Chain A
């Protein structure tokens, strides 16, 4: 199995253009970039993919040891870049993929041109003198939420898709996997995501970095975005006037504009 199949890699846009790679966060899959990525197709070689365990990825490639830390996911990303022979890469990471992007860029800085971190958090758990926003008990509660919902999702589900010509909403074939995966993998990914601590990796980033943060995000509050900006040498912070943790869905125009302005 090739890396491209393993991660359900999709490539579009200008074949010899600068590569821009979009990495999705915990919870859903590459369709999270559906309203943003296409805007870059006229100038960039656009790459989207699913992390192993999400969306259309090969679930059998999930390795509890490799994927037991964000470094394993970063290695997956680097393997995608190597297989496609991508250089001068703009890597856009949402949510937990922001830290996966940081780890990849620290491991092989020569491969990257720029990083865009959307709603990053280097550590979700509160620590001495550090506000991540969450306690251990909160994370345990999240795992319970996952469990109770997978129980309800265990049978075949065919959501009614609202017909809205104005929006390229998901077709029925994609709804089956969107935001849904093997419960055991989801649990492990949640655990890895919310217990990771990548604060020490931030100062090692040498690639120009943009931090995109929503003004009102219960998962990654503005103070965390400011922390990331201050810790990465030369990083810029752009606040999006948007609510929630997924500006790529709730404010795609503003998200696209901010990324476009940064990557020129």
Chain B
């Protein structure tokens, strides 16, 4: 094997250079290479093997050459991998690189290795010989196993975090609203993105006294654990305040004060509806704090906004809120929604009020009919990816 011609000529008196060059003839270059080196037939039968491989594995040349296939030197799991991945890749691509395997040594010990192979073909393209180099990867494999274990732990804790987020979400957005005799209540919710973060939207429907219920839908700025803490605070404040305060405006006032006192910069919007039945007739009282006004859809009429705008909660000092009384007859419905509906985005613009009014007008079946249709339409508008949390609650008089 002549040396490559492009090498610079060493000084004639460099004895060490000449010594190294002369003592590394092709035979030694092969046998004492710092890697195992095997040649096999296309079927894998060993035809040549170097000293390094033999000394690493303890196999004797006469036991391998002409007798064993490369795959025979692998443990069973590795053989399956060889047959289903390694050999097909080599036959198809002519080369297979950085394959992690273990070689079973003569004494049964296993040597972790990284393997590169090339398949040589003759002029007609027929496979002729496979050349394989084997690198000792003992230390590297140990390290990789640590990395792999760390990756597994990370995946497990991510799964736990996701589960925690979803559990938390369900306490803020109950999957099914309670049954209120005489009213049809439904809710639909879709968190932003892939649902891995707890959203800031919340709703609640709860009873204060017989024929006296509170419905609240709100939106805390931001998302994630910190927003969830504020969301929980807001949700339970509305519950507690509703016990002593009949007027939704007073409930919002209390919530506003609580958010001012809380150790957070996050603000909140909410719409609170008190639903009371007297002498068989339902009456709703609506108050808003920084939240989109709900829709009132009377039987036989187009939906209209109802209530009066109020300030954001937890932002301005001395905020006041206004109650609006709405008598509800059979077939009348209130539809509450968060800004994830109207501000649903796509390149051309926002989902907007017009589409919202149209869907609410068109779907006059059950409460679930209108919440489901609205969620589906907003999602379709955004090509199936919610930019923001979307929450819709509908209550209709039966």
Residues of A within 8 A of B (CB): 25-28, 31-32, 34, 95, 134-135, 138-149, 151-153, 157, 159-162, 164-167, 169-170, 175, 178-179, 194, 216-219, 243-246, 249-250
B85 contacts which chain A residues (CB < 8 A)? 27-28, 149, 179
Q: Output the least CB separation between B41 and chain A (Å).
A: 9
B44 contacts which chain A residues (CB < 8 A)? 243-244
Which of B90-98, B169-177, B249-257, B259-267 is the contact stretch? B90-98
User: Cβ of A166 and Cβ of B101 under 8 Å apart?
Assistant: no
User: Cβ of B95 and Cβ of A138 under 8 Å apart?
Assistant: no
User: Cβ of B93 and Cβ of A170 under 8 Å apart?
Assistant: yes
User: Cβ of A246 and Cβ of B147 under 8 Å apart?
Assistant: no
Q: Which of A28, A135, A149 contacts B88 (CB 8 A)?
A: A28
B88 contacts which chain A residues (CB < 8 A)? 27-28, 32, 178-179, 246, 249
User: Cβ of A250 and Cβ of B148 under 8 Å apart?
Assistant: no
A-B contact pairs, 7 of them (CB 8 A): A140-B77, A144-B77, A159-B95, A161-B94, A162-B95, A166-B126, A179-B89
CA A175 to CA B95, docked complex, whole Å = 11
Q: Which of B93, B94, B141 contacts A148 (CB 8 A)?
A: B141
CA A226 to CA B78, docked complex, whole Å = 25
Number of A-B contacts (CB under 8 A): 134
User: Cβ of B43 and Cβ of A169 under 8 Å apart?
Assistant: no
With A144-B77, A179-B85, A246-B83 known as contacts, the answer to whether A151 contacts B144 (CB < 8 A) is: yes
CA A141 to CA B94, docked complex, whole Å = 26
User: Cβ of A165 and Cβ of B125 under 8 Å apart?
Assistant: yes
Q: Output the least CB separation between A51 and chain B (Å).
A: 13
**Size range of the interface on B?**
35 or more
Q: A27-B85, A145-B80 are in contact. List 16 more A-B contacts (CB 8 A).
A: A27-B84, A27-B88, A138-B77, A140-B77, A141-B77, A143-B77, A149-B81, A157-B97, A166-B125, A167-B121, A175-B93, A244-B44, A245-B83, A245-B87, A246-B91, A249-B91
B84 contacts which chain A residues (CB < 8 A)? 25-28, 95, 219, 245
User: Cβ of A169 and Cβ of B144 under 8 Å apart?
Assistant: no
Is B42 at the interface (CB under 8 A from chain A)? yes
**0/1 string, B371-394, CB within 8 A of A gives 1:** 000000000000000000000000
B187 contacts which chain A residues (CB < 8 A)? none
**0/1 string, B112-129, CB within 8 A of A gives 1:** 001000110101111000
Among all A-B residue pairs, the 7 with the closest Cβ atoms = A166-B125, A141-B77, A27-B84, A162-B94, A145-B81, A243-B43, A148-B100
Q: Output the least CB separation between B73 and chain A (Å).
A: 12
User: Cβ of A164 and Cβ of B125 under 8 Å apart?
Assistant: yes
CA A25 to CA B88, docked complex, whole Å = 11
User: Cβ of B81 and Cβ of A146 under 8 Å apart?
Assistant: yes
CB-nearest residue of chain B to A167: B125
Is B76 at the interface (CB under 8 A from chain A)? yes
CB-nearest residue of chain A to B77: A141
With A138-B77, A151-B147, A162-B118 known as contacts, the answer to whether A250 contacts B94 (CB < 8 A) is: no
B residues 26-82 near A (Cβ < 8 Å) are: 42-44, 69, 71, 75-81
A250 contacts which chain B residues (CB < 8 A)? 42-43, 87, 91
